Structure 1
Amino acid sequence: MKIVKYIFVFLFISLLVGCSEDTIDSFGVGKITGTVVSQGDNEPIQNVKISTNPVTSTVFTDENGDFVIENVPAAEYSIQAKKDGLLTKFEGATVLSNAEINVIFEMLPDTGNNREPTTPQAIFPEDNSTDQDVTIDFSWSSSDPDGDELVYELQLRNNVNNDILKYSSIVDTTYTVEGLQFGYKYFWQIKVTDSINEPVLSPVYSFQTAQYPKSRYLYVKKVAGNNVIYSSDNEGNEYQLTSSNLNSFRPVKNNASNKIAFLRTVGGQTHLFTMDPDGANQIQVTSNIPVNGFNLDKISFSWAQDGATLVYPNYSKLYSINATGGGTALVYQTPSGKFITNVAVSKDNSIIALLTNNANGYDASIYTIDFSGAQLTTIIDNVTGALGGLDISVDKKTLLYTRDISAYESDDYRQLNSHIFLYTFVTGASLDISTSKENGTNDFEPRFSPNEALVIFTNTSNDGLSARNIFTTEIGGEDSERTLIFENSMMPDWE
């Protein structure tokens, strides 16, 4: 019996010892690590409170957004990331014995109490204002009660067509719009967003642009590296016709069609365009065969057939094209392969004056042809130095051109003493009308005034760097008066 008793006691003690070893540690522990960042830019967030359910230790993220919870019993957990001003985030995790699990939290701002921006209010132009310029510096007011960064969108529409202009991603309360149309009524509205709340719209405001003035002068100015076309009336009021973001130059108006033709750089090529006198309805005319030659800054074209067609050069060939586009036809090709640089068609369409030169701009000639390509009159031929210009008087009796009388020739086509000459067809004589020109300057780009009593032209220093200015001078004898009319301007036309 004693032996049985001892065996029973031994088994009882063994059972107790076995039970005492079956603690929580027998299930094992693991580790939870992680990082908290802001959603979108992945910037670390410091001092985020990290806790678990079931409850273990509570920790906070460091300056790198990292956290570690040690000795976590193996089990299923819901992990919470919490910080004032941010939306609380939860992530599930399974902790295994002697293992590490990593959790990433991406947190967003808590916008529950965020307020929307104030409704934008117009400052300029004022609602229902009239006689506004076609370039407007729009301005408005708006703010955000929580100091959030605001982004605006300006929308414009008019009372003539269904065009809607939208200017987005504006971060200031001002925005400049160019190229509005004369005589239009415009409606404008501002949309503002803080990227948290729904966008807020301003009321719809309106304004009226001024009626287009009767401008007779056209010319070009350099703006931010581009050529930009302007017009001006007799009082000196100036109006921008083409965008300063585009390279547009050499404007020539045709009164019969009431259109302005001009050149514009498009995708590395130079093409003919037309537009209304107020700059509206800008249409590309040429397409497959662009305008080209030895120097695009020197090239000119001409209206023909009362504004129905345009005539322009492409190296050694002369083409005509309908002013509305299409109908391209070869008119003439130089027999010597010289480039055509300047073109002028007479008012009655009977003659075409051409200026041709070699690939360097020299060995130049001026002569006339008819539309069949037959050569009529040689005006000047095989001279040393540069020629330029070309404009035929309405009665076909005279022709304007320029010649560098210094006879200087260089690789960069620099001219030292360019004068304007008036050629008379009956006599074959050329009259120098630049006798009162200042020494060290060049006269370029002459054109007759509407009554042909004056010539309008560009004058500039022969250094090739100074500003260009537009003058007029009388057609007459020596020491004719020269009048400065536009500064920092070139390529004039006067209709």
Structure 2
Amino acid sequence: MRPTHNSYLLFLFLIGFTLLSGCEDKIESSLSGTLTGRILDQENLMPLEEIRVSTNPYSEIVETDSMGRFTINDIKTGEYNVIASKSGYKSESVTVTVFFNETTDVELVLTESVDSSEELVFTDSFLPAAGESVSGLELLFAWGIEGADSVSFDLLLFQSGNDLSPIVFEDIKDTTYLVQGLKYNTNYLWQIVGYHNSREYYSSVRRFNTSSFPNNQILFAGYDKEILQLFVCDSLAENTSQITFSKHHSWNAKINDQRTAIAFQSTRDVETGLYAMDTDGGNIRRLTDFHVGGYFHEKIEYDWAPDGTHIIFSSYENLYSINKDGTGLRVVTRAPAGYHFREVVYSPDGENIYAIVLSSDVLDRKIYQMDENGDNMSLLYEDSGYALANLDVSPDLRSLLFSKDLSGHVSTTGRMLNAHVFELNIGNGTEVDLSVHKPAGTNDLNASYSPDGGSIVFTNGRNTLSSVPNIYVMQIDGKKRKTLIHGGYTPQWFE
């Protein structure tokens, strides 16, 4: 029989306290009692020492002394299954109730196991090790057993601070199991339940924690089993971590300057929407509850405010602001008559917003500058006959990056044939082509500055609609282009 939902809830309530002092410590509570007992040998009723005694829900694991006695002090009041086990004996259990400020005494009689295959005993071969700090959001769990064949297991995984039932991975036939989608900077408790000969065997409860969000610098989207997921890697692409394990596509991600939240685009609710989540992967919330679009839009265009409190995003003729928790939606400003907003980006100091606007004419695109509140909108750049896309502001506030399709191709699908990355001097309007070394038949897109302004990360791919681009880096002058990540989208280089 599988453990009941109610026992899971009680178990989670109890083990939450163990995170304060380590999972091997007993649970302290003012509403507690004492559990004592004696374990005897069935054949001669002699006391058995070094018998492992545990409880479900978990309280503490103890061993019997030379008189076969054990004591668990300060055990929280409630009903428990007391389990006694030792290699060479058949495990036995009894249900007891612990009352406030009282001692509950039990007696268990163990029968020597004639055939070791009849009994299941957990060994100390557990991974992750107790108290271990693990990196990454996927983890291979492993446990050891002896003395049993034809066993199946459940893996119970509890998250600190979560008052819901545990995540249960059922009917595992091996003694290893890969779990994906853990959260960063989170304490976990886990336990294995073994099922053998119509009996249940509980391992000890073990604790581990995950590391903080990695000190990597590039956030990007890439395919994992035909689903776009989010990844982070360092600037040399030597260490890469997957941070989403969704059943739905996620891409176009940006982290705020405070490294507390990540916004991203996803198909989680069928229609594409803009979402945000904490950097531990939790607290996912949808920010847009209406259709977001505009002329020739391929993705939702948005940017974090430098203080991390809100996001601006474009939809048709409106530029919106919304708080990071999804509240406070308001219109910041409207585009010039006959135009829709496309890309939008804050200056790093938060004092200005830059935006690309475009009309129903595919090639009619312009870059505007405005104050942080949307006032004093002024034309900054236009080059009639060439489609513009993407925007980023240099850390020193002096320059903009954008892509321009030099082919002059007119496409209602947004396809570009020869997109180059340009750097625009905001003060004097001069522009420099940084893609002079780009291979023919490809597009340079999604360019952004490194935090120190000395390098640029961007994507390059064939100009076919089905092409999967790669992520590149190059110097600020466009030289020394090199592939960083094969098969990546929408990179953001952050501190």
Structure-2 change in CA distance of 1:474 and 1:234 (3 Å): closer
1 CA distance for matches of 2:173 and 2:292? Answer: 41
1:406 aligned residue: 407
Following TM superposition, by how much is the alpha carbon of 1:344 offset from its aligned partner in structure 2, in angstroms?
0.8
| Number of equivalent positions | 374
1 CA distance for matches of 2:149 and 2:241? Answer: 43
2 CA distance for matches of 1:200 and 1:357? Answer: 66
What residue ranges of structure 1 are gaps of 5+ in the alignment? 1-114
1 CA distance for matches of 2:124 and 2:246? Answer: 26
Note if 1:341 corresponds to 2:345: no
1 CA distance for matches of 2:311 and 2:128? Answer: 43
What residue ranges of structure 2 are gaps of 5+ in the alignment? 1-116
1:489 aligned residue: 488
1:473 aligned residue: 474
> Normalising by structure 2, what TM-score?
0.67
Note if 1:209 corresponds to 2:205: no
Contact 2:388 2:403 in 1 (8 A): yes
2 CA distance for matches of 1:383 and 1:140? Answer: 65
Q: Could you give the per-residue CA deviations for residues 346-365 of structure 1, whole angstroms, max 9, x where no partner exists?
A: 23333321123356854333
Structure-2 change in CA distance of 1:338 and 1:244 (3 Å): same
2:188 aligned residue: 186
Note if 1:247 corresponds to 2:249: yes
2 CA distance for matches of 1:199 and 1:294? Answer: 61
2 CA distance for matches of 1:143 and 1:169? Answer: 20
Following TM superposition, by how much is the alpha carbon of 1:320 offset from its aligned partner in structure 2, in angstroms?
0.3
> Normalising by structure 1, what TM-score?
0.67
Note if 1:138 corresponds to 2:151: no
Q: Could you give the per-residue CA deviations for residues 147-178 of structure 1, whole angstroms, max 9, x where no partner exists?
A: 5xx65432112445545532344343243222
Pair member with larger Rg = 1
Structure-2 change in CA distance of 1:187 and 1:397 (3 Å): same
Following TM superposition, by how much is the alpha carbon of 1:376 offset from its aligned partner in structure 2, in angstroms?
0.9
Following TM superposition, by how much is the alpha carbon of 1:398 offset from its aligned partner in structure 2, in angstroms?
1.4
2 CA distance for matches of 1:491 and 1:356? Answer: 20
Structure-2 change in CA distance of 1:127 and 1:406 (3 Å): same
Following TM superposition, by how much is the alpha carbon of 1:296 offset from its aligned partner in structure 2, in angstroms?
5.9
Q: Which has the higher contact order (CA 8 A, sep 6+)?
A: 2
Secondary structure of 1:118 counterpart: strand
For 1:135, the aligned partner's letter is E
Following TM superposition, by how much is the alpha carbon of 1:458 offset from its aligned partner in structure 2, in angstroms?
0.9
Following TM superposition, by how much is the alpha carbon of 1:222 offset from its aligned partner in structure 2, in angstroms?
1.4
Note if 1:383 corresponds to 2:382: no
Structure-2 change in CA distance of 1:296 and 1:283 (3 Å): farther
1:313 aligned residue: 314
Secondary structure of 2:307 counterpart: helix
Contact 1:124 1:137 in 2 (8 A): no
2 CA distance for matches of 1:337 and 1:154? Answer: 59
Q: Could you give the per-residue CA deviations for residues 126-146 of structure 1, whole angstroms, max 9, x where no partner exists?
A: 432624233112244679978
Using the TM superposition, name which of 407-416 and 290-299 deviates more. 290-299
Structure-2 change in CA distance of 1:348 and 1:210 (3 Å): closer
Secondary structure of 1:127 counterpart: coil
For 1:428, the aligned partner's letter is G
2 CA distance for matches of 1:211 and 1:276? Answer: 12
Contact 1:117 1:142 in 2 (8 A): no
Aligned residue runs from structure 1 range 48-447, under 5 A = 118=120, 125-128=127-130, 130-133=132-135, 134-140=137-143, 152-159=153-160, 161-162=162-163, 164-173=165-174, 174-193=176-195, 197-234=198-235, 236-256=238-258, 258-277=260-279, 279-284=280-285, 286-289=287-290, 291-294=292-295, 297-304=298-305, 306-358=307-359, 362-370=363-371, 371-384=373-386, 386-447=387-448
Contact 2:362 2:410 in 1 (8 A): no
Query: Once superposed, what is the RMSD of the aligned Cα atoms?
Result: 3.1
